[in-house]
């Protein structure tokens, strides 16, 4: 996919991205980053939720916060916990069923 960027530069008579001005280089780098990113997976979403929950828990330890911030943290915690629960539930159910069925043997 990144080859398409090289072909576009060549078509415009540009040998290398270093010939672009600052704004063009920023755009080029953003395009290159977008084209090289891996697709989002369930595991990456789960890792993201875990990371966000860690950050939220750290902020809960700060006792010098406004009630509005506390409300926001509770809301965010519930959202990320729910997302994680949706991801983990099928796996937990599967493991429980395997244990149950194995116990029947």
Q: Cα separations (Å) of 2 from 12, 39, 74?
A: 16, 15, 42
Which residue from 46, 35, 60, 42 is spatially nearest to 27, judged by alpha carbons?
35
Mean pLDDT of 76-81: 93
Look at the block and give the residue holding tokens 């990456």: 44
Domain layout of the chain by residue ranges? 2-36, 42-104
Q: Does 15 score more than 60 pLDDT? A: yes
Q: What is the mean pLDDT of residues 29-41?
A: 85
Supply the pLDDT for residue 72: 94
- pLDDT of 37 over the 90 cut: no
For all residues of the chain together, what is the average pLDDT? 88
This prediction's pTM: 0.57
- Here the tokens at position 40 are 């989002």
- State yes or no: pLDDT of 88 exceeds 90: no
Task: Label residues 37-57 b or e (16+ Cβ within 10 Å = b).
Answer: eeeeeeeeeeeebeebbeebe
Range with lowest mean pLDDT among 22-26, 55-59, 66-70, 76-80: 22-26
């Amino acid at each position: 996919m990144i080859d398409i960027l090289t072909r576009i530069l060549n078509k415009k008579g540009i040998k290398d991205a270093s010939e672009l001005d600052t704004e063009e280089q920023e755009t080029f780098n953003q395009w290159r980053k977008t084209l090289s990113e891996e697709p989002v997976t369930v595991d990456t979403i789960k890792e993201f939720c875990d990371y966000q929950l860690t950050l939220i828990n750290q902020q809960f330890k700060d006792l010098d916060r406004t009630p509005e911030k506390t409300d926001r943290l509770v809301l965010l915690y519930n959202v990320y916990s729910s997302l994680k629960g949706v991801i983990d539930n099928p796996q937990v159910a599967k493991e429980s069923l395997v244990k149950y069925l194995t116990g029947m043997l």
